[in-house]
Structures are given as structure tokens and as C-alpha cells.
Structure 1
């Protein structure tokens, strides 16, 4: 899990930290909903990163029981915050790819 998710989580954290720093460096900027949301997101990233950085020798039974739910949460964080892939517009007469067709 560490190899799969930690680099991307660290990158997200660094981007969020620089965004937060830019926002807070503005003179007397009022607290906004987006700022609070960014702080909560960073806290969530910190928890996920800390969870992944536990050394193998310190993994307890309780930790192992939380692995599945934590991995699902990490995947959710990554998928929600990845930039969306731009899908080219369809030409007349073309059908959407199978994964985009509605049933």
C-alpha cells in the first residue's frame, strides 16, 4: 500500500500546502469556506500518510483490521482529487466508448 499510494498522497499534500500558504499570505483575507475545506482535506491527508508510514514491525492486529477501510478511504481521496481526463467530443455517427454508455 505504501508504494502504491504514498507518493501521490504526498504530492497532493504539497500542492494543498502551497495553496494554503498562498491563501493565508494575502493581507487580511477573510476566512472562507474553501479555506476551511482545504484545511480539513489536509488533515485527512496527514492521517492517511501517517497510517501508511507505520513500519511493518509496528503493525498490530488492530492496525491490520483497519487496512481495508483505510485503503478504500485512500483510494476515494485519490480518485476525487485527481484531475479529470478530458474526453474528446463525439463526432456525428460515433458511439461513446463502452464505459460511457448509459444502460
Structure 2
């Protein structure tokens, strides 16, 4: 696991510095990006940024699980999750 991280504030500041935009403008764009991604994924639409990332809603079927404390069988309801996949450019950047 990486011992370095970039939080949202640092990301916004870095994008602002790279693009020459204000941090307020970049923050608005980042908010809009995540609002659009979350709305579309919730509607079952796959959002793809070719070469970089893709987000899609995934369905988990109902299943039988175990209570870890008692070992008792329990029913887990069907649910939805999100699958995030890295694209080729992001994978290449991670390799160094």
C-alpha cells in the first residue's frame, strides 16, 4: 500500500496550479464531475473516460452468509455496488 496520498484539497490546488484556474473554479468542476458520475451510475449508466477510468453499477445477488460471531447462517439481501476499473493509461502510469 502506498504511504503517500493526495486529498481533495491538495488535488484541487494541484489542478488549479497546473491549469492556471482558481481553486474555486476547479472545486466547482470537481463537484460537478462527481455529481454527474454518481447520478449516472445510480441510473445504471456506465461512465467511461477512455484510457483512464470507468465506473459502473454492479448487482450482487441475494446469498447466504454467516454471522462471524455465532457462525449462524443469515440471508444477505440483493444489493447494488459500484465497479471502478482502471484504463490502460492509468495502468501504464502505475507501472512507472
Q: State if a TM-score over 0.5 links the two structures.
A: no
More strand by share: 2
TM-score w.r.t. the length of structure 1 is: 0.28
With CA pairs under 8 Å and 6+ residues apart, which has the higher RCO, 1 or 2?
Answer: 1
TM-score w.r.t. the length of structure 2 is: 0.30
